[in-house]
Structure 1
């Protein structure tokens, strides 16, 4: 195992997406690079999991979800003092929509679907 993959095993991630297939794809990629991870279906669940005391190094946050969207969830997590790296992962490519999401408190924004190169670049920034 390469040294950077070894250190990734210390990292944890939360995948927040209402699309079951994308959650599974993103979880598989995280597993492949050795990042322990969990997944939830919407922003409300992301906030609840943090309220229960769990924390993550990385949160991959979708924008459009039922119950609580990515903008609302990111704002809520930041107001709770959550300092995790939050990366918006959405299909939106319009500058205004991306800007609105970034202003909610994102550290970065990527267009989905993620690939291993994009994921590794995020992880390199965290480490």
Structure 2
């Protein structure tokens, strides 16, 4: 494959793989909910062997995230819709995640805050970043 890929979400699957079938449904739902994100490219093990070899894909489903021409994340397992959305937000929010009505950037990260307000933070695909400055001192 000679094509240069700048930004993309590559989804590798196989027709006989049960998790791939489920992953395709998740990808289709993601596309339906986010039509402005046109980065997803689907590849089949039987038809697209060359790109499987280029990215050394030996397991399905595999999802590879490419940003600025470099592989930034690779998942060799099924991702549910929430996980997929978090990873896309993490890598591509500045490109696509805007409020369509106001055209103001609006990241879709979860703000974590427990009932006792002991900690607060932002959760993304790599875990949570806790902002201890927002925690109340309960002494």
Query: In which range does the TM-score fall when normalised by the shorter chain?
Result: 0.3 to 0.5
Provide TM-score, normalisation by structure 1. Answer: 0.39
Whichever of the two has the greater Rg, that structure is 2
Structure with greater strand share of residues: 2
Q: Where is the helix percentage greater, Structure 1 or Structure 2?
A: 1
